[in-house]
Chains A and B, each alone.
Chain A
Amino acid sequence: MTKKILELQGVSKIYGNLKALADINLSVNAGDWLSIMGPSGSGKTTMINIIGCMDTPSTGSVILDGTDISTENAANLTRIRRDKIGLIFQQFHLISYLTAVENVMVAQYYHSMPDEEEALEALAKVGLSERAHHLPAQLSGGEQQRVCIARALINSPQILLGDEPTGNLDEENEGIVVDIFRRLHDEGVTIIVVTHDPEVGDVAQRKIILEHGRVVDDIDQSATFGEALMLKGRRQAS
């Protein structure tokens, strides 16, 4: 039986009069690749913040790997985020004065112990061995995003959370990133990606559509999953 890694039960997030999320129920199995789509203001980022332990719901519970994180204090949320979540940002958010490998090592440092060899291996996995000692300013957008992915993966998180991970990339680099996701998915990593891009949304196993803070559609794409990936690969090759 597949392990349930994440479960949202009746989750709402209210800012003053604004209901960013309204009674969300969602469960994600370990190893799933889930995309969350929706127009601006639909609650995608709020949802990813809550799943990523950077925010707490106003009501409802979020069970992450068996722990209800909706009632945890800030220090515990930090610990859980550090141990279980890998974050990828649209803006990459690399530290400008540290090299690529040092940016990966920062995540190691706050998790346990920095290990340069391990960090270099993580960069090699995303094809950046040669660029490990370059500063972010010396890397292209796609390369920066791959550093961001290596940093997110360095502590072997249970869930990889991407907030518009391809939003700032051209089609070629988008393809590279999606390909990395595919490999990670094959290795059993749970991936949750918020995206505007239908192509990126379509390559996931499952697609959640949010509107006005509610889940309006939950599409199982398992049947077309491989095909969509192949199509994307072909398009990229051409």
Chain B
Amino acid sequence: MFWRMITKTLIRQRGKMLMIAFTVVLGVSLSTAMMNVMLGVGDKVNRELKVYGANITVRHKDAALMSDLYGLEGQGVNDKFLHEEDVLKLKSIFWGFNILDFAPILEGKADFDGSEVAVMGTWPEKHTTLPTGEELHTGLKNLRTWWEISGEWMNEDEDDSVMLGHLLASQKNIHAGDTITLKAGGQSQKFTVKGIFNDGGNSDSKILMTLPAAQRLLNLSGRVSAIEVSALTTPDNDLARKAAQDPHSLSPDEYETWYCTAYVSAICHQIQEVIRDGVAKPVRQVAESEGTILNKTTLLMILITILSSIGSALAISNLITASVIERSQELGLLKALGAHNWQIVLLVLAEVMITGLAGGVVGYFMGIGFAQIIGQTVFGSYIEIARMVILIVAVILFLVTVVGSIPAIRYLMALKPTEVLHGK
């Protein structure tokens, strides 16, 4: 009888129930979309932020110490270098998949046209296969996406080519295609200028060449000054901050959690485990900006979810209350026939829950669609569907429906059969 009454009520009140279902569809679709985007956006926002360059720099521990103490950079700080053969080990760490790009840097000085200039050797591009079988395509080109190039980028095997920073190029009146001679350590070498780059920073006065060319010119075979790393990271929290101070201060459980989360400090720690004498440090401005933007994006989506849930609850509340008031005579009659308050409340809640569930299912799938539209429009890729969203949406739907029903329930509890049956 219970289900017969509910079925017939739903059919009879289909207009109102459709309105309730529509409200739920709107709320749930928005919540589903926001939560899927929120849970899938971390990597996507991070990838977007990768255009701002490396967020981790690895140096020899002594060079890093000098840099920390005196703010000194480059050759001349000391003569401690990292080993080039260690560079590819970056991809072997626990969070290796989160390391998107990296490039070794060898810095030094050379004589150019009678004046001393900074030269920088690197992997413009690097294509190789790792021992794991993974294809690797990385290099400085991926870390300097904002560079404006006049001419072309060097290829990885063009050891006789260089690129000049635009300040130096304009000072020496050099153009792409010109030939220059660099002298260092008593030897001189000719290079073809492949391109002029505009970095907008210190590099604009430097000469860029391939790592083997720089090692040969500077007579530093197999050596690199630093490694720039761009990694996908999780925003720092208290645990990450505590670990950054001293990983040994963590309890075993805390250490495991920290180590297995892509905090920038955890990734730095793991890099240090594979790079001999290396000290990995986050580039704070970039790492913190990523964290801040990600946190704010997440907060915005949570707020939208909460607001849409509140909006849905209010709309549902109005619709259910109107429906119950309209049916007060019928519900009062049920009380007169011997129905207890909880039985009437159960009846109304069941009607609303069934309607809400139907709206919730439709809303969930619409929300997935919205998430994909957002993913395609904003990030140019699909958003991965998080299964846990189903559970969260179910809880939100339940809460929204129950909270939205509270005014109607209060009205039902106070409803006296005598008032609606006799008009007294």
Listed in ascending order, the chain A residues whose CB lies under 8 Å from chain B are: 45-46, 49, 52, 54-55, 74-75, 78-79, 81-83, 87, 89, 91, 93, 95-98, 102, 105-111, 114, 151, 163
Contact = CB atoms under 8 A, between A and B. Distances in A.
> Among A74, A79, A106, A163, which residue has the most Cβ atoms of chain B within 10 A?
A106
A93 B333 contact: yes
B334 A97 contact: no
6 contacts: A54-B417, A78-B340, A81-B336, A93-B333, A97-B12, A110-B334
Contacts of A45: 422, 424
B418 A106 contact: no
Contacts of B424: 45-46, 49
A98 B7 CA distance: 11
A55 B12 CA distance: 31
Contact of B338 (A46, A49, A81, A89): A81
Given A49-B422, A93-B421, A109-B1, A54 B336 contact: yes
B4 A102 contact: yes
A98 B5 contact: yes
Contacts of A49: 418, 422, 424
B342 to A, nearest CB: 9
A15 to B, nearest CB: 9
A97 B9 contact: yes
Given A78-B339, A79-B338, A93 B4 contact: no
A20 B360 CA distance: 51
Nearest to A89: B421
B2 interface: yes
Contacts, number: 68
Nearest to A111: B338
B215 interface: no
A110 B5 CA distance: 12
Contacts of B333: 93, 95
A87 to B, nearest CB: 6
A82 B338 contact: yes
Nearest to B344: A110
Name A's interface SS: helix
Interface in B5-43: 5, 8-9, 11-12
Interface centre among B5, B336, B421 (most CB of A within 10 A): B336
B4 A78 contact: no
B5 to A, nearest CB: 7
A91 B336 CA distance: 14
B47 interface: no
Nearest to B329: A93
A157 B8 CA distance: 28
Contacts of B337: 82, 87, 106-107, 110-111, 151
A54 B343 contact: no
Contacts of B416: 54-55
Contacts of A91: 421
Contact of B1 (A54, A114, A151): A114
A81 B4 CA distance: 24
B73 interface: no
A109 B9 contact: no
Given A87-B336, A110-B334, 15 more contacts: A46-B424, A54-B417, A75-B341, A87-B337, A93-B329, A93-B333, A95-B5, A95-B333, A98-B8, A106-B1, A107-B338, A108-B1, A109-B2, A111-B338, A151-B337
B4 A95 contact: no
Interface in B314-344: 329-330, 333-341, 343
B418 A54 contact: yes
Contacts of A82: 337-338
B422 A78 contact: no
B265 to A, nearest CB: 61
Q: Give 4 nearest A-B pairs by CB, closest first.
A: A82-B338, A109-B1, A110-B338, A97-B12
Contacts of A54: 336, 416-418
Max chain B Cβ within 10 angstroms of own Cβ: one of A93, A108, A114: A93
